[in-house]
Chain A
């Protein structure tokens, strides 16, 4: 008898579930919960599912986006699945909308797409970066996204929980493959699985902190990392495309910086450490007091572990820029400020 009633109890629960299943999302079904639960519940209608073109095994045909305007703008990570005529957005009520591609931002690696707001029957709930976009290491975060396309129709996207692991720079300190974005990123242990990217990273009180990036492949540690682009960096692009505010144009690339230290760079598969072989007289390196056999270990805050890295990092600076150089002489670690010069021309040599 007891087991029989247990079965019935199970059936009743199942029935309740099936009745709920497939229902369009409505705000009326919201139940009170903890602050964190309420935060997630409030954010969910702003997170949309994106379906697009695919055809390759390694590229998924789904992603996540964040609704940022009442005019139907959706922000997501720029990726191959976003093809004209083949990009569709699924809103929280389950409705599917054809999306138009807007110009992408190549530095950020993000793109806005737009759906027709007049075709939307539900209330649009756009998100916009709050004035306070700061985040800190150890801060608790909730990450929202449609990982592995688990959510269909009006189903809610997945919420994962974690902390801000730290801050990293994609430019140099932190070599990664396939990263367009060039700047500071938020590392998190709330996992970015395929499909999760384009979703958002939020503080527990619901502040929008970042846009989930693709899984990063770190050359520095040979591991995969979950990260997000801070919203502060997204704001100028959003303002330009959504609100028509022009952005300041970035200065054109200047000549490469010149230090005047010739390194002991032998050819080979492995680039050797950046030992100074010769210092060009009168060069910035000479003024700094570099000598041969010094090991240059850092330019600014970027470690120069090999001659190849040294050249790469030097290329990021421009003549006239002043940075702190760190080098090792014997067992002494020395530092000094140097202002980069321009490389002498061939005729001048």
Chain B
């Protein structure tokens, strides 16, 4: 068999394969999906509301921005104008591709005071919104429920670790969504991100799927539908119009980032069905924050257990007598494999949560410490602290500060 006959045979094989593929009846999956999406929209539309804010302080939100709540806002520094090097061929598509992809939202993202979205939580007027909507500390928050009018909203509690907040409006018999428990969500299922921003009469919709579950330490679903300031606070729904989660700008580092990720195919939807007790606390006006133990881990220690490299003076761990060189072996009875495992176990907790540790001290004694009560994280989710980057090491503020 020489090369040319083989090529011919291969060509024939290709032809047969192509012919077979052509014979199978083509399916129009898009045409089948469209009415499903429409039905989900009709079901979910009524409980997606518009959030408008008035007053407050405009300031930059990005890494160059002033931290939230730290005195008066500093004037925003405008970037210096510099002549750009002349590009030789502006039409060169390859060159464009090779250019570093710039985020559509620049760093130092100045939050515009546009409308955002919210989702009705209870029939008697509790509404879930994104903390993004309240980041400017507005003096007035108005909620518009489709077909029901505009209401003045009073701020309730917040969960800074999830980027959500509750507001209360004086209304009854509001349409309430079904919230899907994250255990019943599957990676790859359709997820439509709804908002109600651009027009009052109909919601906006972005199409996507669930990319991952239990992101941000068990707090959120990752989706690939576009999430942006236009639909933050809006509902991410399944094909039946049930709420999988609330779209929020968050990132694993704990910073209130994610805005610059909006067209990247990475979005987060905080799950609601699994946090009923927290919602009840937020209705009481509590501000929930990430829990803080106050240990720095030895990154060189590969396990078993997590080795402590330092304990800031005011931290919960220091006060409980933990010291550099101690190895945390168990968290609430769960065997700790290594440092990252310990971080996973800890990062899902909030300030005020109890924690019991089993610790092997330097001299070999094994102690049970606790139950300890975790403190509120001294960094706020809004404060853009570089120290908050996870999971390289635990944040260790130079000047421990309370909230």
Residue ranges of A at the interface with B (Cβ–Cβ < 8 Å): 5, 8-9, 11-13, 16, 31-37, 54, 56-57, 59-62, 136-140, 148-150, 161-169, 173-174, 187, 189, 204, 218-224, 270, 272-273, 295, 297-298, 301, 303, 305, 326, 328, 331-333, 335
Contacts and interface: CB of A to CB of B under 8 A. Distances in A.
Nearest to B192: A138
B203 interface: yes
B160 to A, nearest CB: 22
A187 B199 CA distance: 11
Given A137-B41, A167-B202, A204-B34, A333 B22 contact: no
B316 interface: no
B26 interface: yes
A326 B101 CA distance: 43
A57 B112 contact: no
Given A16-B11, A273-B54, A335-B150, 17 more contacts: A12-B7, A35-B26, A57-B86, A137-B204, A140-B34, A149-B93, A163-B207, A166-B197, A189-B207, A204-B31, A220-B112, A220-B114, A220-B197, A223-B263, A273-B55, A333-B149, A333-B150
Contacts of B37: 138, 140, 163
B206 interface: yes
A194 B38 CA distance: 30
A36 B31 contact: yes
B54 A223 contact: no
A295 B54 contact: yes
Interface string B8-35: 0011011000000010001110110110
Contacts of B151: 333
Given A54-B91, A223-B105, A295-B54, A138 B205 contact: yes
Given A139-B34, A140-B30, A165 B205 contact: yes
Interface stretch (B223-231, B327-335, B388-396): B223-231
A166 B55 CA distance: 27
B111 A222 contact: yes
Contacts of B179: none
Given A138-B38, A163-B37, A223-B104, A60 B204 contact: no
Contacts of A333: 142, 149-152
Contacts of B87: 57
A234 B114 CA distance: 29
A163 B27 contact: no
12 contacts: A35-B26, A36-B31, A54-B91, A57-B84, A57-B90, A140-B33, A163-B37, A163-B207, A223-B105, A297-B52, A326-B150, A333-B142
Given A54-B91, A221-B229, A166 B7 contact: no
B115 interface: yes
A150 B93 contact: yes
A54 B90 contact: yes
Interface of B: 3, 6-7, 10-11, 13-14, 22, 26-28, 30-31, 33-34, 37-38, 41, 52-55, 58, 84, 86-87, 90-91, 93, 96, 104-105, 109-115, 139-140, 142, 149-152, 154, 170, 192, 195, 197-200, 202-207, 226, 228-230, 262-263
Contacts of A34: 26-28
A139 to B, nearest CB: 7
A149 B202 CA distance: 35
Contact of B91 (A149, A167, A187, A331): A149
Contacts of A173: 198-199
Given A204-B34, A331-B152, A168 B10 contact: no
Contact of A224 (B6, B54, B263): B263
B10 A12 contact: yes
Nearest to B205: A138
Contacts of A149: 91, 93
A301 B200 contact: yes
Contacts of A13: 14
B229 A167 contact: no
A8 B115 CA distance: 59
Given A57-B90, A138-B37, A270-B58, A204 B203 contact: no
Contacts of A35: 26, 28, 31
